[in-house]
A and B are shown apart, each in its own frame.
Chain A
Amino acid sequence: MADGPSTPATDDSAPLDREQEAEVRGPEAWVTFRNGFISFWASIKLAVVLICAIAAASTLGTIVPQGGPEDVLALEEMSLRTREFLIGIQAYNVYYSAWYLTLLGLFFLNLAVCTYVRVWPRLRFALARPRDLPIPARDHMPDQVRFADATADQVAQTLRRRGYRVFPAKEGFVADRNRLFRFAAMVVHLGLFMILIGGITAGLTGYKHSFPLLPGESMPTRKAFEDARTRGRLTPLPDDFKVRLDKFWTTRYPDGSVKQFYSTLSVIEDGKAMLTRTIKVNEPLEYKGTTYYQSFYGIGGEILTVARGIESRIILGNQSASTKLQGFITQRFTLGKQEVFAYNTGKGDHFEILTFPMLGYLGDARPGQAMTGGGHSVAVKRVLARPGVASVRLNVGGKPLVVPVESASRFKMQGYITRQIVFGSRKVFLFVPGPDQPIQVVDLDSIASLGTLTPGARKAFGGVGVRFDGTVQDAAGGGPVAAELVIDGQAQVLRMVELERTGFRVQGAASDPVEIGGRDVVVMQSAEPPGSPLWILDARDSTALAVMRPGERADIGITQVRWDGPVWFSGLQTKTDPGLPVIYAGFLIVILGTMMGLFNHEQLWVTAQDQGCRVGAKVNRGRFTFRRHLGKLFGSLGGQLLDSSPLEKGAAA
């Protein structure tokens, strides 16, 4: 390829013209490599393939929730193999996964080479004067206009008047319009590069920090940004000042939903309040290169516990969280005008009566103790449960082993799973669909199924023989299927479903797991609606141990818990992003470039004749539009648009 005649370009995607080939001459092997590299990476077909690949890969992240591997486990029913695959390719974090970034890298390499080989020739072309052509070539232009009377000078004058650049040429004129816009695609490419550079800058130096503030608290900005530095980021540090929350409030629509939330912030520098301003969503505060956004809000606060006469205080974390409540709920029923349902943890016959859909708490009902309030009453008559599995009986290497199981519902699966078991060299857990049904042995590390065991069957796992001897039944372990409640004096049988399958969540503030009354619990409270209860949930399985209203007390084991009500906090976010100006400039250039594409490059060659003249014309896109335009342009001069191509008929149809 280096010393032979230059290979003719087979299509537009092999962009090297003669001029460029001359430029890239060099030592032979290097030239061969370089030409091969360039013609591969500059290919437009490759661009189409890569663009399609990125588009296809991007869809993945809109289907799989983006977060962590647990989000894949929480997906609707799908096989273990599929889950394993999705976790393997980091489907939960697609846009930052190595393979996706590699794809982007290849795309930008393609874009870079493609732009590199075209940008200068295109720029030269775009800035050049229109090129003269020999007369036979002019006559071969796609669109031809004949003038019987008008002279070439008259035509040239018309063109000048209409904004064309007209230059004298052999036996006539050459004219064009919108030549500069042939550079449009290159402009878009340059804009995309600026966005890339801005994005990389942001990745290296940008920093975002969310923090909740209770009224009166303040946040030292510099300290937070120093944290980013210690984690290896090149974040520029702001001056040493603090931002203090003076006041936080919300406004609401008549239906109770939040309309807007506001924080009054003061910037404190050297002990002095430099400025005080109220921010809201869409109206951030900017101070010395850092911006403060009203980002979220929520409730925090504290609960008091008393055990054996010793009082202690538990501060609730004010991190916003959302927990799927576990347990079972009944069908909805009405108390007066309010739609409600009853909640049961699946253990025992204690029910919480909650409003729908906001999970407001009305009270609790248990056998022998009805819920009363607001002129209504709900009493529990009995709970119908389905038998479930309590444990699995195995024989591992000749020794019997009984393994307790727990519900698999937090993996959105029906059935039970065991904790970790060791089979010889393998760590596994078992998946148990139901009483005396075949069980699956699942590798703990890869979450891949190793095989199925039917009752009585024996198989080898990790070098030991394992026999499955059946399940031990649990009379109520399958969970309640129905409850008979007495609602305002009338007995009703209500179907019950597992909460997990309905997607109910308690949203709001959650504490870290703490120990209360000998149990590990998580304390949660909802921000909405006002007056929402406090939930004390079992940290292990998210079932509710207590639901409390402000000012109420509850007992967990021997510990008494008191809660006086929520305290609101304002969630603020601060950030700095030195890449932003570059990104914004890139945005502007992309818009500019794509808009430049709206203009078509028109070229005309005017040839004088003994009588009248003729024009050969060409446009880079939109021939129908161009021909109509030519008709209008030359109509008054008596120009005859030649009906040479089949196009005209289509346009006239």
Chain B
Amino acid sequence: MNGNEFASLDRQATGMVDPQNWMVILDGRLVLATLVLAGLATLAFILRLATGKAMPGRIGQGLLGLAALTSLGQLIDRYAYMIRIDPHYWPLSNLFESVMFVVFAILAIHLVIDRTYKAPGFGLVSAGLVTIIISLASLLPPRLRDASPLVPSLQSYWIKIHVTLMLVSYAAFALSFVAAVLYLFFHYRNQFLQPRSIGAMAARQPENHTALMDLLDELTYRLIMLGFPILAFGIITGGLWANHAWGTYWSWDPKETWALITWLVYAAYLHARMSRDWQGAKAAWFAVAGFVSVLITYLGVNYLATGLHTYGKLL
């Protein structure tokens, strides 16, 4: 695997991007560096949880910090190079770019929120998620990695606001999803262990299992509380843009409908949490459903039907 496999600025077809340019090479290297750092951080956090020693956790935290820097560096490098080719460029013009932005957003949200938790479990969630996302993204066919020229309706400063907000909310929801899945894992494991005997339960489980679940529950909740207003803002700026471009702020296009569905599912999560018998696992299932809806909105809709966002096969 060499850095060039990650050189996603491959616009040779249109002859606009020079693959030999140092900035293009750097772009690929920075993607690779982010992947390696996140992968190493994942290992460090696994080590931290397995051994109970504090050092690997600190190393993992440091590696994630570095990964956030390389990820930011990659976005800036790409922007600095592309803006000379296309003065309206924004580094979210295709699926690969948007995924790399989500990676940066995940790392940034992690670093901000983890200041209050400093929990290796959360470190593992973020590092593992980033590793998986970049690995999958590097498998994308070149077609989805090339930046393509923007159709008329996309040529607007609104793209910068709308798409950026949507992706930041997806990042928060991705983290909340992993936290919710871990919560459910512990929940069902405990449920599975319970009927045996209290002795077995005490012997088998780490003594702080409920505390860990409380932490995961709070993480899920906080991340959704963060993503929820950003998603609302994102959907609404999309409406404002649509009104500006087409004279309609809402047209039930599949992508906007799915964004609304996502918002509704998270609204259901927030309400379910208020009701005593729907707290815990039931609410966590809503968080999982919410992220499934995010994935459909982000990736799935473009294969469902035609609509205003069909150019979004790249977004």
Partner among B14, B215, B257, B267 whose Cβ is within 8 Å of the Cβ of A58 = B257
A101 contacts the other chain (CB 8 A): no
B-chain residues with CB within 8 Å of residue A54 when the two chains form the complex: 264
Whole-angstrom distance from the CB of B1 to the nearest CB of chain A? 32
Whether B277 pairs with A646 at a CB distance below 8 angstroms is: no
What sequence of 0s and 1s flags, for each residue 125-161 of chain B, a beta carbon within 8 Å of any chain A beta carbon? 0000000000000000000000001011101101000
Whether A48 pairs with B218 at a CB distance below 8 angstroms is: no
A-chain residues with CB within 8 Å of residue B257 when the two chains form the complex: 58-59, 61-62
B103 contacts the other chain (CB 8 A): no
A148 contacts the other chain (CB 8 A): no
Taking CB as reference atom, which chain A residue is nearest B157? A282
Taking CB as reference atom, which chain B residue is nearest A297? B152
Using known A-B contacts A48-B278, A628-B116, A646-B211, determine if residue A55 contacts B268 with beta carbons closer than 8 Å.
yes
A260 contacts the other chain (CB 8 A): yes
B3 contacts the other chain (CB 8 A): no
Whether A573 pairs with B246 at a CB distance below 8 angstroms is: yes
Whether B268 pairs with A51 at a CB distance below 8 angstroms is: yes
B272 contacts the other chain (CB 8 A): yes
Whole-angstrom distance from the CB of B194 to the nearest CB of chain A? 18
Pick from B257, B271, B275 the residue with the most CB of A within 10 Å. Answer: B271
What sequence of 0s and 1s flags, for each residue 1-33 of chain A, a beta carbon within 8 Å of any chain B beta carbon? 000000000011100000000000000000000
Whether A594 pairs with B229 at a CB distance below 8 angstroms is: yes
Interface residues of B in 297-315 (CB under 8 A from A): 301, 304-306
Partner among A48, A62, A260, A580 whose Cβ is within 8 Å of the Cβ of B155 = A260
A-chain residues with CB within 8 Å of residue B247 when the two chains form the complex: 208, 284, 291, 293, 295, 573-575
Using known A-B contacts A11-B275, A260-B155, A591-B233, determine if residue A651 contacts B119 with beta carbons closer than 8 Å.
yes
| Bound form: Cα–Cα A284–B240 in Å | 13
What sequence of 0s and 1s flags, for each residue 614-653 of chain A, a beta carbon within 8 Å of any chain B beta carbon? 0000000111110011000000000000000011111101
B-chain residues with CB within 8 Å of residue A653 when the two chains form the complex: 119-121, 208, 211-212
B111 contacts the other chain (CB 8 A): no
| Bound form: Cα–Cα A295–B243 in Å | 12
| Bound form: Cα–Cα A649–B265 in Å | 32
A-chain residues with CB within 8 Å of residue B271 when the two chains form the complex: 44, 47-48, 51
| Bound form: Cα–Cα A61–B251 in Å | 11
Interface of A with B (CB < 8 Å)? 11-13, 44-45, 47-48, 51-52, 54-55, 58-59, 61-63, 65-66, 95, 208, 253-255, 257-261, 280-282, 284, 291, 293, 295, 573-575, 580, 583-584, 587, 590-591, 594-595, 597-598, 621-625, 628-629, 646-651, 653
Taking CB as reference atom, which chain B residue is nearest A292? B247
Stretch in contact with the other chain, from B20-28, B197-205, B219-227: B219-227
**Pairs A–B under 8 Å by Cβ, sample size 17:** A44-B275, A48-B275, A52-B268, A55-B264, A59-B261, A63-B305, A259-B155, A293-B245, A574-B247, A575-B247, A584-B240, A591-B232, A623-B218, A624-B214, A628-B117, A646-B208, A650-B208
| Bound form: Cα–Cα A259–B151 in Å | 6
B276 contacts the other chain (CB 8 A): yes
B-chain residues with CB within 8 Å of residue A649 when the two chains form the complex: 207-208, 211
Using known A-B contacts A44-B275, A595-B229, determine if residue A280 contacts B116 with beta carbons closer than 8 Å.
no
B-chain residues with CB within 8 Å of residue A253 when the two chains form the complex: 149
B55 contacts the other chain (CB 8 A): no
Whether B229 pairs with A281 at a CB distance below 8 angstroms is: no
| Bound form: Cα–Cα A408–B59 in Å | 67
Taking CB as reference atom, which chain A residue is nearest B206? A653
Partner among B208, B225, B277, B306 whose Cβ is within 8 Å of the Cβ of A597 = B225
Whether A65 pairs with B306 at a CB distance below 8 angstroms is: yes
B-chain residues with CB within 8 Å of residue A284 when the two chains form the complex: 244, 247
Interface residues of B in 265-285 (CB under 8 A from A): 265, 267-268, 271-272, 274-278
Whether A590 pairs with B215 at a CB distance below 8 angstroms is: no
B-chain residues with CB within 8 Å of residue A45 when the two chains form the complex: 275, 278
Whether A261 pairs with B239 at a CB distance below 8 angstroms is: no
| Bound form: Cα–Cα A12–B212 in Å | 25
Whether B229 pairs with A591 at a CB distance below 8 angstroms is: yes
B-chain residues with CB within 8 Å of residue A44 when the two chains form the complex: 271, 274-275
B-chain residues with CB within 8 Å of residue A629 when the two chains form the complex: 116
Whether B275 pairs with A598 at a CB distance below 8 angstroms is: no
Whether B304 pairs with A63 at a CB distance below 8 angstroms is: yes
B-chain residues with CB within 8 Å of residue A259 when the two chains form the complex: 149, 152, 155
Whether A622 pairs with B221 at a CB distance below 8 angstroms is: yes
Using known A-B contacts A208-B248, A282-B152, A284-B247, determine if residue A624 contacts B274 with beta carbons closer than 8 Å.
no
B-chain residues with CB within 8 Å of residue A66 when the two chains form the complex: 252
B183 contacts the other chain (CB 8 A): no
Beyond A258-B151, A653-B119, list 5 extra A-B contacts (CB 8 Å): A48-B271, A62-B257, A591-B232, A622-B221, A650-B208
Taking CB as reference atom, which chain B residue is nearest A628? B116
| Bound form: Cα–Cα A629–B245 in Å | 46
Whole-angstrom distance from the CB of A8 to the nearest CB of chain B? 13
Closest 8 CB pairs of A and B: A650-B211, A594-B229, A62-B254, A281-B152, A11-B276, A55-B264, A282-B156, A625-B116
B-chain residues with CB within 8 Å of residue A281 when the two chains form the complex: 152-153, 155, 245
Whether A282 pairs with B153 at a CB distance below 8 angstroms is: yes
Whether B14 pairs with A254 at a CB distance below 8 angstroms is: yes
| Bound form: Cα–Cα A594–B275 in Å | 19
Partner among B117, B221, B249, B267 whose Cβ is within 8 Å of the Cβ of A621 = B221
Whether A293 pairs with B246 at a CB distance below 8 angstroms is: yes
B260 contacts the other chain (CB 8 A): yes
| Bound form: Cα–Cα A591–B237 in Å | 10
Whether A622 pairs with B222 at a CB distance below 8 angstroms is: yes
Whether A11 pairs with B120 at a CB distance below 8 angstroms is: no
B-chain residues with CB within 8 Å of residue A65 when the two chains form the complex: 305-306
Whole-angstrom distance from the CB of A346 to the nearest CB of chain B? 27
B210 contacts the other chain (CB 8 A): yes
B228 contacts the other chain (CB 8 A): yes
Taking CB as reference atom, which chain B residue is nearest A592? B229
Partner among B152, B243, B260, B301 whose Cβ is within 8 Å of the Cβ of A261 = B152
| Bound form: Cα–Cα A208–B268 in Å | 34
Partner among B232, B240, B248, B272 whose Cβ is within 8 Å of the Cβ of A48 = B272
Taking CB as reference atom, which chain B residue is nearest A198? B249
B96 contacts the other chain (CB 8 A): no
Partner among B14, B232, B278 whose Cβ is within 8 Å of the Cβ of A594 = B232
| Bound form: Cα–Cα A394–B243 in Å | 58
| Bound form: Cα–Cα A591–B231 in Å | 9
Whole-angstrom distance from the CB of A221 to the nearest CB of chain B? 14
Taking CB as reference atom, which chain B residue is nearest A253? B149
Taking CB as reference atom, which chain A residue is nearest B232? A594
Partner among A52, A587, A650 whose Cβ is within 8 Å of the Cβ of B236 = A587
Whole-angstrom distance from the CB of A123 to the nearest CB of chain B? 18
Whole-angstrom distance from the CB of B161 to the nearest CB of chain A? 12
